[in-house]
Amino acid sequence: MTAAYAAHATALAHASPTVLEAVATDFLRLGATLYAEEALASAARLHRTRGNVRAASQASARQALLMRDFDGVSTPALRVEDLTHLTRRQVEVARLATSGLTNQQIAERLHTSKRTVDNHLHAIYGVLGVTGRDELRTVLGPA
């Protein structure tokens, strides 16, 4: 954990969004989800300030998936107004899609229509700048 804290501080000091994303992965492996969320929020802001909208959206989306476990938590690094989030329903659909369920299976589980799931996935792909489930899995990680 100490090495992850040090890497986080160094990445912030050097304003390195890609290192912050790697640190977030390390925090997740250690079970430090809130720290991972903060690292992703910082990475998203840095990507955005550098004009890398796609990377910012992807980091924000990864953070949004983690935020569902910490509803209402606020820290200085988690300034929500700076983030591009998926809606709660889009996060739910994305999580189910990366778990391998078909659109029809997702629709049945969420008690909605397949067309609604199709529309959610289309919107998710647009926000994240991906073209399909394989890229979605790469960006968000496995469910």
Q: What is the pLDDT of residue 77?
A: 67
Q: What is the pLDDT of residue 108?
A: 97
Query: Residue 139, Cβ neighbours under 10 Å: how many?
Result: 21
Is the CB of residue 92 less than 8 Å from the CB of residue 54? no
Determine the 3-state secondary structure of 82 from DSSP: helix
What is the per-residue pLDDT across 83-134, written as a single tens digit (0 to 9) for each? 356 777 888 898 899 899 999 999 999 999 999 999 999 988 877 777 888 8
Residue 3 token pair: 């090495």
Alpha helices in the chain (DSSP H): 2-13, 17-29, 33-49, 53-67, 88-98, 103-110, 114-128, 133-140
Q: What is the pLDDT of residue 81?
A: 41
CA atoms of 71 and 118, how far apart (whole Å): 26
What is the per-residue pLDDT across 58-75, written as a single tens digit (0 to 9) for each? 888 888 778 776 666 667
Global pTM exceeds 0.75: no
What is the per-residue pLDDT across 125-139, written as a single tens digit (0 to 9) for each? 877 777 888 888 877
